[in-house]
Structure 1
Amino acid sequence: MKTKNNLVALIFISSLFVQGSADACCGDGKEAAGAAIKAGDLVSQAISSATSAIAAVLEHLNLTILTGFGKLYAEIEKQTAAMRTFAEGNAAVQSQMHMERARAEAQLRYEPSPRQCFEAAGGAGAGVASAGAAQALRSYNTDSAKRTLFTPNTSAAVGKLYDDHVNNYCSQQDADLGRCSRPADPAMQNADVRADATLNTSSYTPDQIAAAQAFVTNVVNPMPTQNIPKNWESTNQGKTFVAGQYIEQARASVAANSLNAAVAERTPIQGLGAAAMLNKADVSRLELMESQVRGRFESPAWYKMIAGLGMENMMREVVKIMALQTSMDFDRYKKTERIEAVLATQLAISVEQDSAVRMRELRNAAAKAGR
């Protein structure tokens, strides 16, 4: 309403400007001057009133604008605060997700394999197993050499083979023939004369070790050459006899070494199973290697484990298998070397036998020609 009145005042002032100008022009003298002064007063009052009215209107507009912008600023600030809170929350969530992803990736990449302890123990045990098997092989080869070089009585040595068989490895057929009162345990019957009893197992009991050694003796040198009296060895003939024993031992040792190696691989090593985290305290080197193979190929748990492995642990498992394969390849190389030695020995003996016959004939021919 106040704004409307102010506008009416403005219109009235305008009409005064028009009317006053006409009166001033139409009047004359004192009368005209008085009219002009009166009109000026009215204009001055109207301008003053209008100015106040315009100032009030502008002030009202300013307040209105300030109030509106204040609400706008408050709303903008509220929205800005909300957006800032959202942005901060989003950043926190993204950071947390990034850390969780990094942690998961690190866990997959660096978390040890579930079989790590078992593999580490098995790897450490492998070195102990190799040393133990080598020591057992030296012991068995030493015993084989003693039989060839230092047997005082051949009949007694052969008789011991018979007695050991009857007392420890008697079969049902032996019992039926009256050679023994009762047969041995089925697992030990004829164990000293059967290759399968020696080779078709990965670890021996003490009784099986004795049976395996008896089997090697029966194969390599069942009837050892009896030593000659000590005083005979000082003669040329005696020295030739002892040299013949050395030759016999050298050739027999090739076969003995191969068979004794098989026995040594199956001889339990004290504490090896416990060190390798197996379910037996004492195992052989072959049994340790067998556990590494069977623990994978024949283990459903292993297949289940590798199905859940990340790429890093999967590659670690592949490397372990390759290391196991390398070890087995080295064992295969040593076996091939022993086979080569056996073949070379057989060839040397064949050549000697053939040469002995021909050289004897040539010697006889030369003797006849020289007479």
Structure 2
Amino acid sequence: MLLGFPDPVAELSFGGRLDLGAGVLPGGVPGGAVGCGALYFRRRAPVAEAIVTLAVCVVYYPLSVYDGPLMVTFALALYTAAAEGRFTAAVALGVVTLIAVGFGEARQHDGNRQIDDMSLFMLAGWLVSLVAVGRAQWTRSAYLGEVEQRALAAEREQEARAEQSATEERLRIARELHDVLGHSISLINVQSGAVLHKLSKKPEPAEALSAAEEALEAVKATSKDALRELRSTLGALRKPDETAPTSPTSGLGRLDELVARARSTGIEVRLRTEGERRPLPPPVDLAAYRIVQESLTNVTRHARATGAVVTVDYTDERAVRVRVDDDGEGSPEGSPAGSGIRGMAERARAFGGELTAQNTAEGFGVSARLPTEGTA
């Protein structure tokens, strides 16, 4: 007896034997088939499947002689609805079921009730437990899904950081190679061109020999310095167990050599120092040296200058300033900045500094300010 419908078991015939056929055939077998078949769709449409199984139970139990296990299909459907995140619908179905059973039992006389108050209370606890367990499963699944998403996001972020670090290191090495090789090869090109120009005038043998020796000495010194710089730069690609290069690293302390090589191209280069010289963090020291080096490279290659002045200013206690001014032709108005100037600007920005490169009244000037505080 369910939902207040009469129990077919009470009908007896043939001398006290139960008439089973009339109770099983009308709704039992079809209802059981429909209820079990609906479970196939419990993942796709959990709420609709729960409603179907509840409706089948409402039809099945009043018409069936035996109280079969069809109620299990509704229990599984109710749990699935809660486990799939349809918590409100699951609660509503549980409440409707409890109200319907209570209403059906209330219509019966005291002697005809099939479910007493204690059983009704246990049914309520059973429905609440199904919904609560389903809700707990949904919460656990959501938590595991969030953890998985966070793990994937962390992995993607780690890959992005690794790729960014690799890109930055590649650009750093490319910039170093550009500054080292570009400067040295430019000097060699200018020195060789100057000697060839002298020789084309067919000077006296002694004069020609002297010019050739002077040029070869300059080329030798420049190429030797280029090899030293190249080894130092490629040292960043060493394996951890390899020996570090023993040659001195470039810095403002080697500007005298840099200026001397620039003078060998025929340009009068002067070096000035303002303020009291002090030790600089190695990265800043190298960046300042590279900016002066690239500036002198541009002077020898493009400026058509006869003189240049390199100024190192230590008067600012929180930064160092370097400036290279030449008396060349300057840069045409509106012309885009070359890769050399962009590389110098990137070096300055890497330390929170700034770089300006512009035409002056005398020619062209490059000025950079590199902060020294807080630099590792």
TM score, norm. by length of structure 1:
0.29
Larger Rg: 1
TM score, norm. by length of structure 2:
0.29
**Which of the two has greater strand per residue?**
2
Larger relative contact order (Cα-Cα within 8 Å, sequence gap ≥ 6): 1
